[in-house]
Structure 1
Amino acid sequence: MAPWLPLLSLLGLLLGAAPAPPRRAADAQAREAAYPELLGPARFALEMYNRGRAAGMRATLGAVRGRARRAGKGSLYSLKATLEEPPCNDPTVCQLPVSKKTLLCSFQVLDELGKHMLLRRDCGPVDDENETLSSVLPLLNKEPLPQDFSVKMASIFKEFVTTYNRTYETKEETQWRMSVFSNNMIRAQKIQALDRGTAQYGITKFSDLTEEEFRTVYLNPLLRENRGKKMHLDKSVSSSAPPEWDWRKKGAVTKVKDQGMCGSCWAFSVTGNVEGQWFLKRGALLSLSEQELLDCDKLDKACLGGLPSNAYSAIKTLGGLETEDDYSYRGHVQTCSFSEKKARVYINDSVELSRNEEKLVAWLAKKGPISVAINAFGMQFYRHGISHPLRPLCSPWLIDHAVLLVGYGNRSGIPFWAIKNSWGTDWGEEGYYYLHRGSGACGVNTMASSAVVN
């Protein structure tokens, strides 16, 4: 038998497949769950999916499969289910403004003492008029791996460990992390093959994390619900925009920061926006405190996620933001120690911006950097270039990461947004992400907002 076959079976051939974690106690291991056992958690997930919808607009449950794992006093269910969306042409009412569609959803439901809690929901269309998953899937089935794959991967993984100063507690964990890393390299190649831009995907500092770990630690599932404070829509900018713009060159953007192992992207997105607004109104660029928002914003959930609209409201209620120097970032929740006497910046209001990208371009060029939220598909492995994933793979309805638009332009005729991220300068293009502009890529236009400083 070829030496790479055991590794290949471990990795799986489908995009997103992940190896199992190292074995712990037998009762903590996942097991295949019988269909009747899955119905309760699946119906609960469907109920949460349909929450707030009128009777005729609710999706219905199709096929269900999944696994169960003991978790504390209950069970954690990882489900794959198909949902049938009814016909809908109103995007303010339904998630998919199209005719009837079948969705493929991944749910995680915790059943503890008879009470259910939805921990994760990822849904996307399994067919599309122009870009169907049936046309995508053949591209995911790559040719067999070379016989020296495992040897080469071991060498690459060793280099990764050295580069990013990784240490693992046991030999078993090291072997597991290598299998995760190998699986991720295959995933990165598949994402690369399906990208329509110039982006390059490969090894990053997140390459030894499973997709679930990455989402849980670094992303923000609360953005999908978007149940924050309501903001009024700002007026569009009437003047025409220049062909390119970059607020970094105008002195309105602070250095790239690092949120660490905390889902606090929402705080960094908002402080970046406020930093730009204060600079434009007061002429001073101050690095502002995200930790203040983690500790003192009681509307949001700190490292478990938050919403920009809530953060603006918290800043206004608190009486302003302290600087990074006075209230430094720790990456975990502490007791609120905000002092109004130390506040250096205040805001008067906040506004929602247009979903039209041309209007966003004009607004940005005239009024400053914009807080936005996106679907972070592929960003775990993004290295450089302009990302342009297929729409079914990067659904605008599944946003999970807040970032900051700081500029726009064209590279080799490809329009892009320049996006300040909060994962440090050792990720992406010195901490920046470049995303295709003009196609609503990854939902970049669905949650744009800004603070107002008078």
Structure 2
Amino acid sequence: MDVGFRHPVLLCLILAVLGSVLADLDGPLMGAPGSAVRLSENDPGLKKALKFAEERYNMGSNAMHVRRVSKILSASKQQVKGIRYSITVELSNTQCKKAARLRICDFYPEEQNLKTEVCVFEVWDIPWESKSTLLKQKCQPAVDPKPVETNKVEFLPLSTKPVEESVDSVELLGQFKEFMVRYNRTYSSQEEADRRLRVFHENLKTAEKLQSLDQGTAEYGVTKFSDLTEEEFRTLYLNPLLSQQNLQQSMKPAAMPRGPAPPNWDWREHGAVSPVKNQGMCGSCWAFSVTGNIEGQWFVKTGKLVSLSEQELVDCDTVDQACGGGLPSNAYEAIEKLGGLETETDYSYTGKKQSCDFTTDKVTAYINSSVELSKDENGEWKENNTLKKVVKMGIPSQLCN
């Protein structure tokens, strides 16, 4: 599961924002090392950050016309891992429609058509990686509180309904728009967009609660799953068959080797683990678990790490249910019957059930049998077997942890 970065923000009135901006105008241009430094409008880095913020704003906006910065109210930067820009600006409508994709766009001459907003942006720029991230976007009408425009190029949550706990707040809408842009989300109707906003809001509250309770180093926040309910996440990504004990195949118990156990051991440091893979919108975690296990075992046996095909199991394992879930015990048997596994390159992953296209001549790795570990997590087998085998395990998972 992807773990997203958490960016907590405080929702405040626009007057408070402007008040803090005006109060800062008398502050020093330079501060202590690591502190924020005020910028002039001609700063090249500021111009780059503003252009990026403008682009992200317009990508997530449901307005027909492109909006541009009409006035910079304040700007500062802080040296972090890269540069963090904090910018407060006025954004106004131009006469260019988004579909036109014009580089030069004039503002409307009529003030009533400008529909100016005051926006606070935070942009994190890492120049040496050519990477920019919009950490924060908070916008509010500067004068006219009416909705921006009714013409839409995509469905976005409306902010016209009074919802419990300010679910339609400017801050939440900004976060949700950023989520939609980052993960390429579109919705089929306005009702669906509003429903996803509510799900997104509930998941954010859950993430904040989990973060407050966490006593380790985990970070909770927005991920690509943040607009899914628990039930949807379980259906799309988890394996329903693992909870059905009557379907579990009995396996031969593993023998218990002897020898001292190391204080710690990470197979990634020894070249036995392939790069992280993505199962996508397919409940094929069982196949990834099995191929990852065999990849490690094959490395221990041959000294060669190869990425093996999960799609072969999704298509050719006739006992398991492809994207509907499966059991590793069945998958091991299927591999034995097939004669082995092809590589990821020869039998690429598509994330959906297809007709079996297995070719014996392309088999790269094979197994002769499989065994099951003790259910005692402190068992002597696990402690003493670390240096000899790569094992697979399943972890109960939920949307928010």
For this structure pair, what is the TM-score category when the shorter chain's length is used for normalisation? 0.5 to 0.7
Distance (whole Å) between structure 1 residues aligned to residue 193 and residue 165 of structure 2:
23
- 1:354 and 2:354 correspond: no
- 1:263 and 2:283 correspond: yes
Cα pair distance change 1:289/1:148, threshold 3 Å: closer
The question of whether the paired residues in 2 share the 8 Å contact of 1:236 and 1:354 is answered with no
Please report the RMSD computed on the Cα atoms of aligned residues, expressed in angstroms: 2.1
Identity of aligned residues (%): 56
Distance (whole Å) between structure 2 residues aligned to residue 221 and residue 371 of structure 1:
18
Distance (whole Å) between structure 2 residues aligned to residue 228 and residue 325 of structure 1:
31
1:397-436 equivalent positions in 2, closer than 5 A: none
The alpha-carbon deviation at position 167 of structure 1 amounts to 1.7
Output the amino acid matched with 1:271: T
Q: Which residue matches 2:347?
A: 327
Output the amino acid matched with 1:219: L
The alpha-carbon deviation at position 150 of structure 1 amounts to 2.5
Q: Which residue matches 1:429?
A: none
Q: Which residue matches 1:372?
A: 393
Cα pair distance change 1:363/1:278, threshold 3 Å: farther
Cα pair distance change 1:328/1:283, threshold 3 Å: same
- 1:161 and 2:188 correspond: no
Alignment equivalent of 2:336, drawn from 316, 324, 327: 316
Q: Which residue matches 1:386?
A: none
- 1:233 and 2:253 correspond: yes
Cα pair distance change 1:234/1:207, threshold 3 Å: same
Cα pair distance change 1:261/1:146, threshold 3 Å: closer
1:176-191 equivalent positions in 2, closer than 5 A: 176-191=195-210
Higher strand proportion: 1
Cα deviation per residue 1:325-383 (whole Å; 9 max; x = unaligned)?
A: 11111111111111111111110100001223333642552223321112103xx335x
Cα deviation per residue 1:239-258 (whole Å; 9 max; x = unaligned)?
A: 22211111111110111111
Distance (whole Å) between structure 2 residues aligned to residue 175 and residue 333 of structure 1:
32
Distance (whole Å) between structure 1 residues aligned to residue 384 and residue 391 of structure 2:
9
TM-score by length of 1: 0.50
1:29-428 equivalent positions in 2, closer than 5 A: 150-226=169-245, 227-358=247-378, 359=380, 361-363=382-384, 365-377=386-398, 380-382=399-401
Distance (whole Å) between structure 1 residues aligned to residue 275 and residue 196 of structure 2:
32
Cα deviation per residue 1:309-332 (whole Å; 9 max; x = unaligned)?
A: 110010001111111111111111
Distance (whole Å) between structure 1 residues aligned to residue 168 and residue 322 of structure 2:
42
Distance (whole Å) between structure 2 residues aligned to residue 149 and residue 336 of structure 1:
48
Q: Which residue matches 2:4?
A: none
Length, aligned pairs only = 237
Unaligned stretches of 5+ residues in structure 1:
5-144, 383-454
Unaligned stretches of 5+ residues in structure 2:
1-10, 12-163
Distance (whole Å) between structure 1 residues aligned to residue 249 and residue 262 of structure 2:
33
**Which range moved further: 349-358 or 320-329?**
349-358
Distance (whole Å) between structure 2 residues aligned to residue 247 and residue 187 of structure 1:
33
SS in 1 for 2:223: coil
SS in 2 for 1:355: coil
Cα pair distance change 1:224/1:146, threshold 3 Å: closer
Distance (whole Å) between structure 1 residues aligned to residue 193 and residue 242 of structure 2:
34
Output the amino acid matched with 1:295: D
For CA contacts below 8 A with separation 6 or more, give which structure has more relative contact order: 1
**Which range moved further: 348-357 or 365-374?**
365-374
The question of whether the paired residues in 1 share the 8 Å contact of 2:167 and 2:201 is answered with no
The question of whether the paired residues in 1 share the 8 Å contact of 2:253 and 2:372 is answered with yes
The alpha-carbon deviation at position 298 of structure 1 amounts to 1.1
Cα pair distance change 1:223/1:146, threshold 3 Å: closer
